[in-house]
Amino acid sequence: MLVISYIFYFATEPFLFKNLNINKIKAKKGRKIEWLEFSFEPEKRIHSKRQSNMISTGKPKQYISREMTPQWLKNNTYEPTTSKTSAYTEEERQAFLQKMKK
């Protein structure tokens, strides 16, 4: 019943539904509510016609950026890191390169 009462309070907001009527359906008088019946006026809108609030606000649709890249990723302020310690010393590296040349 907790969920139904939540829906009941949500549905009574005047700007969502016009002429909202909520009927409590019971099996007999004095019994528990079996279900709630919601009735309201349908929205008066012609779906085949374009609505005034759907008109673009100046930018043509093809030029609107649909990119979802976050702003922090676009700012490439990070610097590449280099390792200061290597596994081999410079002398070992030179010896290895000379072996490879042979």
Tell me if 12 is assigned to some domain.
yes
Q: Tens digit of pLDDT per residue, the chain (102 long)?
A: 444 444 555 545 555 677 888 888 888 888 888 888 888 887 776 666 666 655 555 655 566 666 777 777 777 666 767 766 667 788 888 898 999 987
Range of the domain at 7: 1-42
- pTM for this model (two decimals): 0.29
Assess if residue 11 is contained within a domain. Answer: yes
In a domain, 4, yes or no: yes
**Residue 33 lies inside a defined structural domain of this protein:** yes
Q: Is 24 left (phi over 0), alpha (psi -120 to 50) or beta?
A: beta
Residue 54 lies in a domain: no
Residue 95 inside a domain? The answer is no
Quick one: pLDDT at residue 25?
A: 86
Residue type, 45: R
Distance from C-alpha of 99 to C-alpha of 90, rounded to nearest angstrom: 14
Does residue 9 lie in a domain region?
A: yes
Q: Does residue 16 sit within a domain?
A: yes
